[in-house]
Chains A and B, each alone.
Chain A
């Protein structure tokens, strides 16, 4: 344990880095959202914005990062980075941070970001704020103020960690606004490579299993239709899926519906499932237990359909429809049908 949080005196650090993530040749949406955040922070405290891109065959993605606001792309292309190898990526990112000394590092609160950022933060003796929904520069001190929900969103905490650089944060997908892309905008390119001592070679990839349906990653869906105990069974979820297909939405479920076996855990929303913040959240037959509400209360527009006007979800909803989803949704599907 040679790490010492006091061994990081504030030196000449400059730059805002974002960790860009690519999967199967596509950048995650959150990576472009991070560039939007970084650009806004750089407007408050002028400094270059760099996108760090690790992967294999990621070269074609570099112009997209420039167009969305990266002043420079730091790219490391290596077969060993073609899948998420925590130890390699943490060793590499740590070394690059020591070498280039950015003031801020932002990563998406994705599967990779939530595994890599804490490993790097500990190894580099700096602070890390998880799952931020707000970022700004404190005008007085220049510190990054990182705001995040805690206790399932019932409390907002603002955190700073500027005594230990870089200031690190993971950012919740779907919250920050990306910049309008500037076609043809070009920036700098720095190529780095994975060093022999960073090839830990501890893990071996056996298999990649792509998800079948659109049931995962609905953290980014703009329209989520959730069913609860009131959907009465798997057939009820079939109705929700038909409606979701009509509006290009994703289906979610409450814990009660998952425990009853009507829907898979992958789509459970709430305290012990996922937290979502879609533009529109339609809750059908959901009573609105607090454990569910904390997973969706950040949605822009909440619509509830419930026969019980006194159900807690109805008090939270922007549009509360007293009625039966089994009667209303088929009518709605018919209206949308061309």
Chain B
């Protein structure tokens, strides 16, 4: 049985700037990294493999350079990595992205579990995990903070973060999980892992390789359209600085909080 972890390469800082003239994202000098939340998805996959066996496959949809993120996944313990790369995928929103990932998972075959991170730090949508589940028609659990696989029937016991608490559920594979940071502490790749990862092949699959309908991928198949982007509204900049004794500072703050009826 295969475990698939979906990963994304993202800009290394979540704060980006806009070029004031072109209004485009400034990407120069911004390093690409493996989405930090995906490290927890990979760690979950590696631990399940160590405990229950199986094959761990990392997949990513992205440009050719996203191969680097997949090599990091290999260094961390993935057995196989596949890059889903095709010019026609460009401009895909979460609907089309989750379609491509779902097609790749169907193509891999014999997949019992798909693990995603909480969300990507560039888009922050958290939509792709449930989107994959919907495309595949599989059950899903998001906000996963604990995970166990029953040795007898392979069913999954998950703890989910909900508003106001957590719930514990049992669900049958195949399923899609989106995991939270609380689930685990990701390991650091060893040098031997990096060396093996550098030599490993990373196959590239296009739309035909995954049997994706070209009419359902890319910008034209994406239901959402970005109509404009811009900087956030500026903060009110009549800021005040208080530099005095602790007692006087506390008194000024007290009056300010009282003035705005906070206390």
Do these two chains interact?
yes
Interface check B98, CB cutoff 8 A: yes
Say yes or no: A247-B14 contact (C-beta < 8 A), given A111-B162, A121-B127.
no
Whether A154 and B16, one on each chain, are in contact in the complex, defined by CB atoms closer than 8 angstroms, is: yes
Please state if A118 and B15 are interface contacts (CB–CB under 8 Å).
no
Name the interface residues of A1-22: CB closer than 8 Å to any CB of B: 1, 3-6, 21
Q: What residues of B have a CB within 8 angstroms of the CB of A110 in the complex?
A: 163
Which of B130, B170, B247 counts the most A-chain CB atoms under 10 A from its CB?
Answer: B130
On whether A152 and B124 interact (CB within 8 A), knowing A115-B130, A207-B168, A316-B235, the answer reads: yes
Residue of B nearest to A110 (CB): B163
Given the known interface contacts A150-B122, A207-B168, A272-B36, the answer about A332 and B224 at a Cβ–Cβ threshold of 8 Å is no
Most buried by A among B95, B166, B215: B95
Asked if A122 meets B228 with Cβ closer than 8 Å, knowing A4-B216, A151-B16, A247-B263, the reply is no
Question: Is A323's beta carbon under 8 Å from chain B?
Answer: yes
Total count of chain B residues near the partner, CB < 8 A = 92
Among A152, A156, A158, the residue within 8 A (CB) of B15 is: A152
Interface residues of A in 288-338 (CB under 8 A from B): 290-291, 293-294, 297-298, 301-303, 305, 309, 314, 316-324, 327-329, 331-332, 334-336
Q: Are A121 and B139 in contact (CB-based, < 8 A)? A: no
A161 touches B223 (CB 8 A): yes
Would B167 and A122 count as touching, CB distance under 8 A? no
Query: Which residue of chain A is the closest to B126 with respect to CB atoms?
Result: A114
In the complex the two chains form, is A155's CB within 8 Å of B231's CB? yes
Other-chain residue from B134, B215, B229 in contact with A118 (beta carbon distance below 8 A): B134
Q: Is B243 an interface residue (CB 8 A)?
A: yes
- Chain B residues lying within 8 Å of A157, measured Cβ to Cβ, are 226, 228-229
Given contacts A131-B124, A150-B123, contact A28 B163 (CB under 8 A): yes
A186 at the interface (CB under 8 A from B): no
Residue interface mask B16-38, A partner, CB < 8 A = 1: 11100000010000000000110
Q: Is the interface of A mostly helix, strand, loop or mixed?
A: mixed
CB neighbors of B among A132-164 (8 A): 145, 149-161, 163-164
CB proximity of A27 to chain B, nearest CB, Å: 11
A119-B140, A205-B169, A265-B182 given; A3·B230 CB < 8 A: no
Q: A290 CA to B233 CA in the complex, in Å?
A: 17
Known contacts A122-B135, A265-B182; is A159 also within 8 Å of B226 by CB?
Answer: yes
Is the beta-carbon distance between B242 and A158 smaller than 8 angstroms?
no
Most A-side CB within 10 Å, residue of B37, B140, B143, B157: B140
Q: Is the interface of B mostly helix, strand, loop or mixed?
A: mixed
B246 touches A324 (CB 8 A): yes
Nearest CB in chain A: distance from B164 CB, A: 5
B169 touches A203 (CB 8 A): yes
A-B residue pair count with CB separations less than 8 angstroms: 291
A158 and B228 form a contact (CB under 8 A): yes
A160 and B225 in contact, given A118-B94, A332-B254 (Cβ under 8 angstroms)? yes
Distance, CA A4 to CA B243, complexed state (A): 62
What's the Cα separation between A225 and B46 when bound, in Å?
A: 37
In the complex the two chains form, is B247's CB within 8 Å of A331's CB? yes
When distances are taken between beta carbons in the complex, the residues of chain B under 8 Å from A1 are: 99, 102-103, 106, 135, 213, 216
| A112 at the binding interface (Cβ < 8 Å) | yes
The 5 closest A-B pairs by CB, nearest first: A127-B223, A152-B14, A331-B250, A327-B246, A122-B134
A210-B165, A320-B240 known; 7 new pairs, CB 8 Å cut-off, are A4-B216, A118-B128, A122-B95, A131-B125, A150-B123, A153-B232, A323-B243
Binding site for B on A (CB under 8 A): 1, 3-6, 21, 23-24, 28, 83-84, 86-87, 90, 110-112, 114-123, 125-131, 145, 149-161, 163-164, 200, 202-211, 216-217, 223, 246-247, 265-266, 271-272, 279-280, 290-291, 293-294, 297-298, 301-303, 305, 309, 314, 316-324, 327-329, 331-332, 334-336
Query: Could you write out 11 A-B pairs with CB less than 8 Å apart?
Result: A84-B167, A116-B130, A118-B126, A118-B131, A128-B224, A154-B14, A208-B167, A319-B253, A320-B240, A322-B242, A332-B254
